[in-house]
Amino acid sequence: MLSQAQTSGYTSASRGRLDVYDFETLSSDTLIDGVSHFALSRDAKTLIYRSGNRVRVVRAGEKPKDNSSEPGRKSGWIDLARIELLVSPPAEWRQMYRGARRL
C-alpha cells in the first residue's frame, strides 16, 4: 500500500467547477467546486469526480446533500485507503509477451 509521502507527487490542482444548466428556466447553477477530473455513467444518472486526492460518487445533476468529509454511502466519498491492488508479476509478464506478439 502506498503511503501519503509516496502519493504526494500525484496531487492535482482542484480548480475546476461543475455547473448545471436548466434549459427551461435558462439558468445555470454551480453543482460542485474544486473538481480536477470527472466522469458520467453511461445512463447519465451517476457522476464520479476527483477533488485533490479524494474521489466522490453522487447523483448527476444534483448538489451533494451530505457535506460530511467522512467516507460512506451517504456522503458519497470513497475510502481509497481500503482499496488493494494485487499484482502477479509472472502473469503480467505472460500478458505482455502475448500482447507483444500481436504487434
Span 26-51, pLDDT tens digits: 999 888 888 999 999 999 999 999 98
Residue 24: predicted pLDDT: 92
Q: Which residues of the chain register pLDDT less than 50?
A: 1-10
Residue 69: predicted pLDDT: 83
Give the domain range for residue 15. 4-102
User: What pTM does this model have?
Assistant: 0.65
Look at the chain and report how many structural domains it folds into: 1
Sequence-separated contacts (24+) of 9-14 with Cβ below 8 Å: 10/53, 11/52, 11/53, 12/36, 12/37, 12/50, 12/52, 14/50, 14/51, 14/52
Residue 83: predicted pLDDT: 86
Straight-line distance from the first to the last Cα atom of the chain, in angstroms, rounded to the nearest whole number: 33
CB 77 within 8 A of CB 56: yes
Residue 11: predicted pLDDT: 52
Mark out the alpha helices in the chain (DSSP H runs).
4-7, 89-102
